[in-house]
């Protein structure tokens, strides 16, 4: 489906169907009010009504924040796809540039379907939506649309990767996807194979992947525009499958664990959109792509692993593998690049889902101002976040009897103790630059919510890009 905007009157556009907005349930103001009232359409936010004989499609809009606009647009596009119209036109008049961007993002996100594994694909007829713009700020609206298309496409790209099965998207394949992005957008891409991990002192990531038939990969993908305003490192957990290892997950919890690569997929999506939009920020993506399996080669509870910065880790549960992978990748990233910010993305803990629910990303770190800036980025992005506060008592709980630290703690505060585990691998000079995003809740869904259907959601992509766009304005 293509989305375009033209600097013309609505009547000058040709289309099968006209899309009209009812704002704040003001049904009386519209030409078809009698008809709409007769069929009981009230214009509630996110609801829609087709008048086939008039070739008009009404959408109710009441809430103009990004999240609600995206949802209304996604609902509308899902409804439109059930009809046989191929082209649709609408006026952009209810929107300013910012809200237009959100609405367009919602249209593309709502149009998303993952049909790769379906033997029969339902054809969709809806091919084009064109907006008419009449005013003096046309270029602002064009920019809004360009941004929306890049951000929504990157989100859908991330969703595709998350939805791909572990047998199709294994670590080497993740490296190939990074290389393909590199050739498409002229990025740099360095790949390290597990054969080099031990020479690099990275025993933690090495041991997590040892039982897998797939070779673990450490991917460094970088986008380097000329004269960047800032340098940002993004670190992603890329567990292409998390069986739990010898601390095997129960069958019900193992299901959906193809999504344990969602952090890595978000990093790839963010870099894709940033490169496409040519943001003036140098971005380095570091991904630990690993499969956590069982077998004679598996690492064990009781093992002690030495991470790249020399920290020794007592393994008490092989299912707390993400933090082991990230430990080495964080060390590696900080050695390679001295950034202004370092963010990591990980489906790290079930405890984060208990704390914040399925819809919000857990935001952790030492820099209160930086954490707050992500709460602000919620609004334009449509994503939801919740900050979880570190404290020194929880940090104490990571102490081990046999090594420097252990990879699991007691029952409470599991999202925070996982975050504090990662803190052991953040260098002193980077403490204030670092944010840990636990996306275990929102990265994947088994029931539709917001703009999402079943499967990967692209959590972290819109949030970070909105934050980066704000950074570019400053
Ligand atoms: N990948 C999981 C976390 C997860 C759980 C992501 C649910 C998405 C949905 C992670 O590797 C894990 O297994 N964590 C354990 C940690 C525990 C052993 C301390 C968990 O959360 O149960
Ligand atoms: Zn696990
Ligand atoms: Zn995991």
pLDDT at 124 over 90: no
Q: Which of 258, 264, 320, 411 to mutate to test the pocket of ligand 1 (most atoms within 8 A of CB)?
A: 320
Annotated catalytic residue: which of 323, 395, 406, 462? Answer: 323
State mean pLDDT over 168-186: 98
Distance 418 CA to ligand 1 centre (A): 10
Distance 440 CA to ligand 3 centre (A): 9
As a whole-number percent, the residues of the chain with pLDDT over 90 amount to 98
pLDDT of residue 454: 97
Ligand nearest the Cα atom of residue 349: 1
Task: Say whether 336 is catalytic.
Answer: no
Query: What mean pLDDT, rounded, does the chain reach?
Result: 97
Asked whether 320 lines ligand 1 (CB < 6 A), one says: yes
pLDDT of residue 474: 85
Asked whether 208 lines ligand 1 (CB < 6 A), one says: no
pLDDT digits (tens, 9 = 90+) for 336-364: 999 999 999 999 999 999 999 999 999 99
pLDDT at 422 over 90: yes
pLDDT digits (tens, 9 = 90+) for 372-397: 999 998 888 999 999 999 999 999 99
Asked whether 277 lines ligand 1 (CB < 6 A), one says: no
Annotated catalytic residue: which of 81, 249, 336, 379? Answer: 249
Distance 320 CA to ligand 1 centre (A): 6
Ligand nearest the Cα atom of residue 439: 1
pLDDT of residue 155: 98
pLDDT of residue 471: 96
Task: Say whether 323 is catalytic.
Answer: yes
* Nearest atom of ligand 1 to the alpha carbon of 319: 13
Distance 207 CA to ligand 1 centre (A): 18
Distance 351 CA to ligand 1 centre (A): 8
Which H, E and C letters describe the chain, residue by residue?
CEEEEECCCHHHCCCCEEEEEEECCCHHHCCCHHHHHHCCCCCCCCCEEEEHHHCEEEEEECCCCHHHHHHHHHHHHHHHCCCCCCEEEEECCCCCHHHHHHHHHHHHHHHCCCCCCCCCCCCCCCCEEEEECCCCCHHHHHHHHHHHHHHHHHHHHHHHHHHCCCCCCCHHHHHHHHHHHHHHHCCEEEEEEHHHCCCCCCHHHHHHHCCCCCCCEEEEEEECCCCCCEEEEEEEEEEEEECCCCCCCCHHHHCCHHHHHHHHHHHHHHHHHHHHCCCCEEEEEEEEEEEECCCCCCCCCCCEEECCCCCEEECCCCCCCHHHHHHHHHHHHHHHCCCCEEEEEECCCHHHHHHHCCCEEEEEECCHHHHHHHHHHHHHHCCEEEECCCCHHHHHCCECCCCCEECCCCCCCHHHHHHHHHHCCCCHHHHHHEEEEECCCCCEECCCECCECCEECCCCHHHHHHHHHHHHHC
State mean pLDDT over 208-235: 98
Is the whole-model pTM more than 0.85? yes
As a whole-number percent, the residues of the chain with pLDDT over 70 amount to 100
State mean pLDDT over 400-406: 98
Ligand nearest the Cα atom of residue 421: 1
pLDDT of residue 282: 98
pLDDT of residue 345: 99
State mean pLDDT over 77-96: 97
pLDDT of residue 193: 96
pLDDT at 470 over 90: yes
């Amino acid at each position: 489906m293509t989305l375009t905007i033209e600097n013309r009157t609505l009547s000058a556009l040709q289309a099968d169907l006209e899309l009209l907005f009812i704002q704040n349930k003001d049904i009386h103001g519209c030409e078809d009010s009698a008809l709409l009232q007769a069929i009981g359409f009230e214009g509630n936010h996110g609801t829609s009504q087709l008048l086939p004989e008039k070739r008009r499609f009404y959408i109710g809009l009441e809430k103009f924040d990004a999240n609600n606009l995206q949802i209304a647009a996604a609902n509308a596009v899902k409804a439109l796809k059930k009809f046989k119209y191929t082209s649709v036109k609408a006026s952009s008049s209810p929107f300013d540039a910012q809200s237009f961007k959100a609405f367009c993002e919602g249209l593309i996100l709502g149009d998303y379907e993952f049909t790769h594994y379906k033997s029969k694909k339902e054809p969709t007829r809806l091919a084009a939506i064109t907006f008419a713009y009449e005013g003096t700020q046309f270029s602002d609206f064009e920019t809004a649309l360009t941004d929306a298309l890049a951000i929504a496409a990157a989100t859908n790209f991330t969703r595709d990767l998350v939805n791909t099965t572990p047998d199709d998207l294994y670590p080497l394949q993740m490296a190939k996807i990074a290389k393909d992005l590199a050739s498409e957008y002229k990025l740099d891409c360095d790949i390290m194979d597990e054969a080099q991990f031990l020479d690099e002192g990275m025993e933690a990531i090495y041991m997590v992947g040892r039982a897998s038939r797939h070779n673990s990969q450490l991917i460094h993908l970088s986008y380097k525009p000329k004269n960047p305003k800032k340098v940002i490192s993004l670190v992603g957990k890329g567990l292409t499958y998390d069986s739990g290892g010898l601390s095997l997950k129960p069958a019900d919890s193992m299901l959906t664990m193809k999504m344990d690569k969602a952090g890595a997929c978000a990093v790839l999506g963010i870099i894709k959109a940033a490169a496409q939009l040519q943001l003036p920020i140098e971005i380095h993506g570091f991904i630990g792509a690993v499969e956590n399996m069982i077998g004679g080669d598996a690492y064990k509870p009781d093992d002690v692993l030495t991470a790249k910065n020399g920290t020794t880790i007592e393994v008490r549960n092989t299912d707390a593998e993400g933090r082991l992978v990230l430990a080495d990748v964080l060390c590696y990233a900080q050695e390679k690049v001295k950034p202004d910010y370092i963010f990591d993305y990980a489906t790290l803990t079930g405890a984060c889902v208990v704390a914040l629910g399925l819809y919000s990303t857990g935001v952790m770190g030492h820099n209160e101002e930086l954490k707050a800036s992500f709460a602000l980025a919620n609004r334009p992005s449509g994503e939801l976040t919740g900050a979880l506060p570190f404290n020194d008592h929880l940090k104490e709980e990571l102490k081990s009897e046999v090594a420097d630290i252990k990879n699991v703690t007691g029952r409470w505060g599991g999202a925070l103790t996982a975050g504090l585990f990662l803190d052991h691998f953040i260098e002193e000079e980077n403490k204030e630059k670092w944010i840990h995003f636990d996306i275990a809740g929102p990265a994947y869904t088994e029931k539709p919510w917001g703009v999402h259907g079943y499967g990967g959601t692209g959590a972290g992509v819109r949030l970070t890009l909105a934050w980066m766009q704000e950074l570019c304005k400053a």
